[in-house]
């Protein structure tokens, strides 16, 4: 039982995570690049155009819009879970993780909103509509930005962690609203197409799921990168950080 | 997709498709380089702090010998 939870306890150690993540990153980037290359080939070249609804080539926007929108919600849920762990178990790394997810989640939300607006113009005839899905997604972007702003406004890091964690936990209520908005309200946005069986033709599934895989790996890689920065910011005075910096210096000199 | 021309213009929707992909590319690459820059600047900050602390370290000096002037020598 103890060995089953060992990885969780190891994740709580900034030093352990910082050292291990340096070895994980090249593999994550390699996987991301391979999936991106295959995904972009299918999504921009090999996949067919949409003929049934007359969307034509604009269906290609789906291959970046859907992964970004999914990650915007998953990122916020992950941030709320990390914040809860931080508040309940006083785990330093959990607060650092929630701070690391925020800018990437905000970027994914922005991409989802931007590509959605660009896709909406030729499909719906409008860039923006104040319907439930679009408005709640915009609210998600403000929640991410609010989290970052609130965290930055405190001089003391412990207070910033706690205040931002409360916002992350309260704001998570918006995620099911985004997801179920197309079911609960009559929205301009289309209903479930990825999670509902048979809603998406098989020829669109290959590029979409390849791009979803690429975006997920990219998201994980970026979060790890930002988390490494966050760890350095928090552990600047630690002996192991000094050792790491001198080790880097020695490696550059070829010692 | 049948031709390079079709890839560029995508029917009449080239501007919509390419602007979406371009914006995504710019945002994600921008984030990647921003994080890399942060990591590098933190590393150099730690290094410079280490260097300055090395140079400011107070080393024990040899105690000065007290030389008593013997005025009655002459």
How far B67 CA sits from the closest chain A CA (Å)? 44
A210-246 residue pLDDT tens: 999 999 999 999 999 999 999 999 998 888 888 888 8
Rounded to whole angstroms, what are the CA distances from A45 to A48, A207, B43, B73? 8, 10, 42, 104
Residue B64 confidence (pLDDT): 55
Question: Which pLDDT score is estimated for B49?
Answer: 84
What whole-number distance in Å separates Cα of residue A27 and Cα of residue B64?
61
> pLDDT category, B54, cuts 50, 70, 90?
low
pLDDT computed for residue B65 by the predictor: 56
pLDDT for the residue A1: 54
What pLDDT sits at residue B74? 47
Give the nearest partner residue to A115 out of B20, B35, B39, using CB atoms. Answer: B20
- Segment among A144-153, A162-171, B53-62 with least mean pLDDT: B53-62
Q: Which of A200-204, B12-16, B29-33 has the lowest mean pLDDT?
A: A200-204
Q: pLDDT tens digits, residue range A87-145?
A: 999 888 999 999 999 999 999 999 999 999 999 999 889 999 998 999 999 999 999 99
CATH of A29-46+55-236, one of 1.10.30, 1.25.40, 1.20.120, 3.30.2130: 1.20.120
Provide the pLDDT confidence category of residue A255 given band limits of 50, 70 and 90: very low
Residues in contact with A163: Cβ distance below 8 Å, sequence separation at least 6, in sequence order: A150, A151, A154
Q: Which of A64, A218, A236 sits opposite B21 (nearest CB)?
A: A64
Question: Structure tokens of B72?
Answer: 């009655």
Q: Is the pTM of this model over 0.80?
A: yes
Minimum-distance CB partner of A107 among B7, B31, B39: B31
- Contact between B39 and A110 using a beta-carbon 8 Å cutoff: no
The answer for B 7-36 residues in CB contact with A (under 8 A) is 7, 10-14, 16-17, 19-21, 23-24, 27-28, 31-32, 35-36
ipTM above 0.95? no
The pLDDT tens digits of the residues spanning B2-24 come to 788 888 888 888 999 999 999 99
Query: Minimal Cα–Cα distance from B47 to chain A, Å?
Result: 6
What is the model's pLDDT at position B11?
82
Q: What is the pLDDT of residue B71?
A: 55
What does the pLDDT read at residue A189? Answer: 80
Q: A113 and A141 in contact (C-beta within 8 Å)? A: yes
Mean pLDDT computed over A33-61: 87
Binary contact (B24, A242; C-beta < 8 A): no
Please report the pLDDT score of residue A219 as a whole number. 98
Helix (H, G, I), strand (E, B) or coil at A71: helix
């Amino acid at each position: 039982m103890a060995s089953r939870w060992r990885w969780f306890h190891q994740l709580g150690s900034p030093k352990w995570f910082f050292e291990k993540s340096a070895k994980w990153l090249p593999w994550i980037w390699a996987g991301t690049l391979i999936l991106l290359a295959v995904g972009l080939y299918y999504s921009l070249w090999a996949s067919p155009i949409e003929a049934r609804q007359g969307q034509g080539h604009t269906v290609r926007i789906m291959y970046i819009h859907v992964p970004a929108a999914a990650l915007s919600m998953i990122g916020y849920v992950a941030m709320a879970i990390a914040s809860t762990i931080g508040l309940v178990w006083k785990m330093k790394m959990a607060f650092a993780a929630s701070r690391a997810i925020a800018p990437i989640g905000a970027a994914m939300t922005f991409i989802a909103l931007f590509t959605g607006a660009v896709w909406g113009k030729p499909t719906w005839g409008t860039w923006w509509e104040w319907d439930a899905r679009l408005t709640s997604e915009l609210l998600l972007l403000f929640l991410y930005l609010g989290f970052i702003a609130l965290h930055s406004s405190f001089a003391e890091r412990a207070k910033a962690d706690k205040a931002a964690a409360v916002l992350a936990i309260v704001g998570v209520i918006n995620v099911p609203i985004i997801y179920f908005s197309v079911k609960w309200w009559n929205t301009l946005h289309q209903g479930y197409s990825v999670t509902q069986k048979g809603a998406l033709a098989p020829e669109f599934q290959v590029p979409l799921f390849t791009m979803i895989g690429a975006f997920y790996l990219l998201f994980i890689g970026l979060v790890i990168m930002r988390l490494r920065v966050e760890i350095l910011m928090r552990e600047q005075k630690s002996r192991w950080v000094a050792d790491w910096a001198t080790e880097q210096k020695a490696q550059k000199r070829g010692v | 997709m049948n031709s390079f021309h079709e890839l560029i213009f995508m029917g009449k929707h080239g501007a919509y498709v390419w602007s979406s992909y371009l914006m995504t590319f710019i945002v994600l690459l921008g984030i990647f380089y921003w994080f890399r820059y942060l990591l590098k600047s933190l590393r150099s900050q730690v290094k410079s702090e280490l260097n300055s602390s090395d140079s400011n370290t107070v080393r024990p000096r040899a105690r000065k010998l007290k030389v008593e002037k013997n005025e009655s020598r002459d």
